[in-house]
Amino acid sequence: MPASSRSELITFLAQQRPEDVLGTAECDWVDFKGAGHGAPYDLSTHKGRFELSKDVAAFANAGGGLIVCGITAKQQANELVEVARKLTPFQQSLIKIDQYKTTVDELVRPLVKVTYQWFAHPNTDEVSGHYFVLDVPGLPEAERWALVRKVLNDKDQFTEGWTIPIRHDDRTTTLSPDEAYRLINDGVRSRFALPWTTPPAPRSDPAEARQELEEHMMWQDLPVLFWQSVPQNAPELVTGLHSQDGIRGALLNQDALRPHGGFNFSLAYNAPEPYRGGLLLTDNRRAMSVAADGTVTAAALATDDMLGWGMERGFSEKGRLNVVALSEMMLEYFRLVDHKIVPAVPGVWEHRIVAVRFADEPPRKLAPGANPAFPFIGATQRASTNDWNMTWTAHGDPEQDAHEGLQRVYALFGLDAAQNPYVRAKALSTEALRAAFQ
């Protein structure tokens, strides 16, 4: 069963089902790199460094994608594109992630925050090793285009110059000189045609916002789940941010499914406070901040105090996440953000899920189905990494965006969000959750 999306492919690898990736065609969101007898990219050479940078920049220009190392793709005579045909996992010692990070940071402009992930091959097969995946985020339209600031000469050595790689279906090509000239000329004309236009304000840095919130809460050593929502065309200051009729009022008077005793960001006894020019609403186990430019950063402890509520005390399940708590909090976040905050900044928004320290001892665990008090399917699965960072373009519909968020959390545990009892089709159902409360 070929993968139909980035999140599904990641789920297959996290569940140690790499054979399910076979048959997936290379396209504008995935490229396969067979390992052969060495690493997919030889970063000891200029050519290898250029190829890595070119592939990263191409996906950044195409809305994001995966570079999957350890799976070989081939094109048959009757096919138009290359298709994943053979599993070629390799040893982790062949790749030094710091070299990948250094190469991309040095050669690609603007900076692209690639996520690097290892996935183990099943131990039961004759072959062994790991798959290495580079998850490349897409650049916002206003920040395109990514370029590689060196080119190769006829001896495969770096020389001065630059190129703009683009992803076209299953191929990586480059922007033509004529098209590059047109883009530059359009920019020059717009600059002189609108002399009164001020440049957009610097956008909030999502990573810095998470770190600042984590330090403010003193959660640096605890497992935390983050939600973030970032406007692509952020203003310097959102209109009505501190107004009772605006975002401050929305935080103070949330339309929660369960205002008292539910898993949400509604705090009956705490009011939003000024925080770094924006707002902060928090208690000792959950927090939500809204920056001056509208960027939202929310967090919840993945412990028995919040997302694992009652699992340790009630069922002796240390580290296990409560499916109701996770599902309800996921939906409540997007009910608030999609309905009350996103409309304050028109345009495209990006949502993000980040899980940190989920694999530390004792690891966070999740099972398909409902909580142990109800019928459930299968055994608990452990979180597969400590650094999980996934994004998507906002739908603006809370149930759809909550489902997107659940997909990314479940993939961290090698699970499919369809195994969540409150998912209906491609949505996290409000009605199904309401029924669970009764």
CATH of the domain at 136: 3.30.950
Predicted local confidence at residue 77, as pLDDT: 66
- Domain limits at 374? 206-437
- Judgement on whether residues 241 and 295 belong to the same structural domain of the protein: yes
> Among all chains, which residue has been given the structure tokens 């002796």?
316
Predicted local confidence at residue 170, as pLDDT: 76
Predicted local confidence at residue 308, as pLDDT: 94
- Let me know if residue 22 belongs to a domain: yes
- Let me know if residue 199 belongs to a domain: no
Q: How far, CA to CA in Å, does 154 sit from each of 47, 158, 159, 163, 363?
A: 11, 10, 10, 16, 51
- Judgement on whether residues 176 and 214 belong to the same structural domain of the protein: no
- Judgement on whether residues 269 and 414 belong to the same structural domain of the protein: yes
- Judgement on whether residues 218 and 70 belong to the same structural domain of the protein: no
- Judgement on whether residues 140 and 232 belong to the same structural domain of the protein: no
- Judgement on whether residues 176 and 316 belong to the same structural domain of the protein: no
Question: How many separate domains does the chain show?
Answer: 2
- Let me know if residue 193 belongs to a domain: no
- Judgement on whether residues 11 and 135 belong to the same structural domain of the protein: yes
- Judgement on whether residues 404 and 257 belong to the same structural domain of the protein: yes
Predicted local confidence at residue 386, as pLDDT: 94
- Let me know if residue 292 belongs to a domain: yes
- Judgement on whether residues 128 and 267 belong to the same structural domain of the protein: no
- Let me know if residue 189 belongs to a domain: no
Instruction: Tell which of 115, 148, 181 closes a domain.
Output: 181
- Let me know if residue 200 belongs to a domain: no
Q: Kindly give the confidence (pLDDT) of every residue in the chain, 438 residues in length, as a single tens digit, with 9 standing for 90 and above.
A: 688 888 899 999 999 999 999 999 999 899 999 876 678 899 999 999 999 999 999 999 988 999 999 999 998 766 678 999 999 999 999 999 999 999 999 999 999 999 999 999 998 777 889 999 999 998 887 677 899 999 999 999 999 889 999 887 678 888 777 667 666 666 545 444 444 344 444 567 899 999 999 999 999 999 999 999 999 888 889 999 999 999 999 999 999 998 778 999 998 778 999 999 999 999 999 999 999 999 999 999 999 999 999 888 877 889 999 999 999 999 999 999 999 999 999 889 999 999 999 999 999 999 998 887 554 556 889 999 999 999 999 999 999 999 999 999 999 999 999 999 999 999 999 999 999 887
Instruction: Tell me the whole-structure pTM to 2 decimals.
Output: 0.59
Predicted local confidence at residue 63, as pLDDT: 84
- Judgement on whether residues 16 and 86 belong to the same structural domain of the protein: yes
- Judgement on whether residues 330 and 411 belong to the same structural domain of the protein: yes
- Let me know if residue 369 belongs to a domain: yes
- Let me know if residue 238 belongs to a domain: yes
- Judgement on whether residues 171 and 251 belong to the same structural domain of the protein: no
